[in-house]
């Protein structure tokens, strides 16, 4: 039995907002794979829970007529990986969330929780940064949209208010069409592992596949929150894929933008090495996936 003060099973988003507003000591539970663990450990024990688990409108992925991909925050990781819209347009996100925990956790855990928990180690976070995802929040005052790149305020902290429900993630057409990329996770084990470091790269090549038209670099665990490295991106924009120096330029510049710390999982020094190495590998793989001939 979990130490839950009051439990509300919200049937609609409005019901959830009302319940959250009515009890400042309440928090949202969606997939439960983090909230219940925290509760059992005593960290969130005695809190009230407002469940959004059974609200159908928060689940699933669909494509808007204008090409925007709408991801329901209560969509489980495995459903994202297997979703046809995701597979066709942003397969990299499906691959990234396929590295979360183990199979059963991926059947329960949701992308909304992964982002809204504010964890820097969230496996979807680095990729969402490179997709310029937009977080849609609904609260008592209405709906607001926050770019995921401005969503985090500190470790485990986001701009989402206690009584706001994340109702969607939006990914605009210009942020996925013509792009390719990959997510690389470093962990000591292949499964049931929190990322020691996560690196996401996306590239957009010119039509002849010879020039990097645009590039994006996102990290998890390279700072207290997931981050984008815009200086590293700018440093190789417009460069030729045949230019062998782009990898070191990219990775060296990224090192100036990160702020990893030592934890029991890994030292700061090791994380810096991972940041450097994974940037190079992920860039190379992204160029390859985009059809460019990466220089060895």
Partner 1 sequence: MLKIIHFTVNGKKTELAVDDRECLLETLRNRLGLTSVKKGCEVGECGACTVLINGEAVDTCIYLTMWADGKSILTTEGLKGPNGELNPVQQAFIDETAVQCGFCIPGLIMTAVEIVGTGKKYSREELRKMITGHLCRCTGYENIVNAVERVVNETYDATHGKE
Among 162, 191, 242, 256, binds partner 1 (CB under 8 A): 191
What's the CA gap between 130 and 100, in Å, rounded?
A: 18
User: Residue 124 in contact with residue 96, Cβ under 8 Å?
Assistant: yes
* Residue 273 in contact with partner 1, rule: CB under 8 A: no
User: Which 54-93 residues touch partner 1, going by CB under 8 A?
Assistant: 54, 78
* Residue 2 in contact with partner 1, rule: CB under 8 A: yes
Piece of 10-18, 30-38, 221-229, 245-253 that binds partner 1 (CB under 8 A): 30-38
The residue among 143 and 192 lying less far from partner 1, judged by its C-beta, is 192
* Residue 110 in contact with partner 1, rule: CB under 8 A: no
User: Residue 95 in contact with residue 51, Cβ under 8 Å?
Assistant: no
* Residue 102 in contact with partner 1, rule: CB under 8 A: yes
* Residue 181 in contact with partner 1, rule: CB under 8 A: no
Give the β-pairing of 26-29 and 48-51.
parallel
- Judged by CB under 8 A, how many residues of this single chain contact partner 1? 26
Give the β-pairing of 212-220 and 165-171.
unpaired
* Residue 270 in contact with partner 1, rule: CB under 8 A: no
User: Residue 116 in contact with residue 137, Cβ under 8 Å?
Assistant: no
Which residues in 176-202 are b (16+ Cβ under 10 Å) and which e? beebbbbbbbbbeeeeebbbbbbbbbb
- The distance of Cα 87 from the centroid of its chain, to the nearest Å, equals 16
The residue among 31 and 220 lying less far from partner 1, judged by its C-beta, is 31
Among 11, 40, 231, 268, binds partner 1 (CB under 8 A): 40
* Residue 3 in contact with partner 1, rule: CB under 8 A: yes
Query: In the bound complex, what is the minimum distance in angstroms from residue 51's beta carbon to partner 1?
Result: 7
Which residue, 57, 166, 42, 162, is CA-closest to 111? 166
Question: Where would I find the beta strands (DSSP E) of 120-235?
Answer: 134-139, 142-147, 152-154, 157-158, 165-171, 180-186, 197-205, 212-220, 227-228
User: Which 134-173 residues touch partner 1, going by CB under 8 A?
Assistant: none
Q: Give me the residues that bind partner 1 (CB under 8 A), please.
A: 1-4, 7, 9, 29, 32-33, 36-37, 40, 51, 53-54, 78, 101-105, 107-108, 190-192
């Amino acid at each position: 039995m979990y130490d839950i003060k009051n439990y509300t099973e919200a049937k609609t988003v409005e019901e959830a907002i009302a319940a959250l507003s009515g009890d400042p000591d309440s928090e949202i539970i969606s997939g439960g794979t983090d909230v219940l663990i925290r509760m059992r450990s005593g960290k969130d024990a005695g809190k009230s829970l407002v469940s959004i688990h059974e609200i159908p409108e928060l689940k699933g992925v669909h494509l808007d007529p204008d090409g925007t991909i709408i991801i329901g925050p209560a969509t489980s990781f495995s459903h994202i990986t297997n979703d046809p819209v995701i597979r066709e347009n942003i397969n990299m996100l499906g691959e990234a969330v396929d590295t979360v925990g183990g199979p059963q956790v991926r059947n329960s855990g949701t992308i909304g929780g992964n982002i809204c928990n504010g964890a820097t180690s969230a496996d979807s976070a680095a990729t969402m940064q490179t997709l310029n995802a937009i977080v849609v929040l609904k609260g008592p005052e209405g709906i607001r949209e926050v770019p995921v790149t401005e969503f985090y305020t500190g470790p485990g902290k986001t701009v989402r208010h206690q009584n706001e429900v994340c109702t969607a993630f939006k990914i605009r057409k210009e942020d996925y069409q013509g792009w390719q990329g990959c997510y690389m996770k470093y962990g000591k084990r292949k499964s049931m592992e929190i990322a020691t470091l996560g690196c996401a790269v996306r590239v957009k090549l010119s039509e002849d596949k010879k020039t990097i038209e645009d590039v994006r670099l996102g990290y998890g665990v390279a700072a207290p929150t997931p981050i984008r490295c815009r200086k590293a991106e700018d440093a190789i924009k417009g460069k030729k894929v045949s230019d062998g120096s782009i990898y070191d330029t990219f990775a060296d510049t990224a090192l100036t933008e990160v702020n990893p710390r030592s934890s029991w999982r890994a030292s700061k020094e090791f994380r810096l090495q991972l940041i450097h190495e994974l940037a190079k590998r992920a860039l190379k793989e992204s160029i390859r996936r985009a059809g460019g001939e990466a220089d060895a």
